[in-house]
């Protein structure tokens, strides 16, 4: 996966020990890393006639969701200013990452995306329970 290079906590303890901001930053980085590949992927599968329409729309939906999620996280964490800094660097890395992503096969792409989205979900949940423990935590 193109995001394999990113150092991400591999377990609960690691994730819990990371300070909040860093975790948030990590989440955003991940989300950012997928923005390009996702849109590229969507373009790519549009030409696939074998896929049912549901898949195409689902893929688009997911891309949108990722984008919205990123925006949401940014907003909720109030990291707009940070993201400006981070953007520059992440964009740079994002470009290289994207090129890497283009090389992947479709199944690998999906596999990597599934994993990374799971990562993001888990980190977000940890964040949530850290910030607002009363809410079903």
Here the tokens at position 24 are 């948030």
Helical packing angle, 20-46 and 53-77, nearest 10°: 160
CB of 41 to another protein, least distance (A): 20
Residues near another protein (CB under 8 A) are 4, 8, 10-13, 15-16, 115, 118-119, 121-122, 125-130, 133, 136-137
| Residue 90, burial from CB neighbour count under 10 angstroms (0-12, 13-18, 19+) | buried
CB of 112 to another protein, least distance (A): 10
Of residues 101 and 126, the one with the C-beta less far from another protein: 126
CB of 137 to another protein, least distance (A): 5
């Amino acid at each position: 996966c193109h995001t394999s290079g990113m150092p991400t906590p591999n377990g609960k303890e690691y994730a819990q020990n990371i300070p909040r901001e860093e975790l948030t930053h990590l989440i955003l980085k991940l989300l950012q890393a997928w923005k390009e590949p996702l849109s590229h992927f969507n373009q790519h599968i549009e030409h696939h006639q074998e896929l049912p329409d549901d898949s195409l729309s689902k893929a688009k939906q997911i891309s949108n969701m990722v984008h919205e999620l990123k925006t949401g996280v940014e907003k909720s964490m109030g990291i707009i200013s940070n993201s400006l800094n981070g953007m520059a660097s992440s964009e740079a890395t994002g470009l290289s990452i994207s090129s890497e992503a283009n090389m992947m096969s479709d199944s690998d792409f999906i596999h990597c995306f599934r994993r990374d989205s799971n990562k993001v979900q888990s980190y977000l949940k940890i964040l949530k329970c850290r910030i607002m423990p009363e809410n079903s935590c």
